[in-house]
Amino acid sequence: MFGYHQKLLRIDLTNRRIEVEHLNKEYIQKYIGGVGFKAKSLYEETNPETAPLSRENTLMAITGPYTGTGVAASGRRHGATRSP
């Protein structure tokens, strides 16, 4: 898991706050790549009642562990949110 920097940047546009969240190795190994991170985060941070266009909704832009390396198809990024 050397492609990870073990950090997640959270930007709160409503309150104009930026926080760096440190990820532990267990979390990284359990939820591999951008797809795993976004699925878990979206599940934990929203619920079925979260309105898609509300301030409580989450918008994520996530990259995988191989982004920027020479691995084929590694230049991908993922986006996630609750949609209407």
pTM for the structure as a whole? 0.66
Residue 64 falls inside a structural domain: yes
Residue 69 falls inside a structural domain: yes
For the chain, the domain total comes to: 1
The reported pLDDT for the residue numbered 19 is: 94
Residue 48 falls inside a structural domain: yes
What stretch of H or E contains 5? none
Residue 32 falls inside a structural domain: yes
Residue 2 falls inside a structural domain: no
Residue 1 falls inside a structural domain: no
d(CA 44, CA 9): 16
The reported pLDDT for the residue numbered 72 is: 78
The reported pLDDT for the residue numbered 50 is: 92
Tens digits of residue pLDDT in 41-75: 888 889 989 999 988 888 888 877 777 777 777 66
Residue 54 falls inside a structural domain: yes
Alpha-carbon dihedral of residues 12, 58, 27, 10, nearest 10 degrees? -10
Domain residue limits at 53 = 7-80
Residue 16 has pLDDT above 70, yes or no: yes
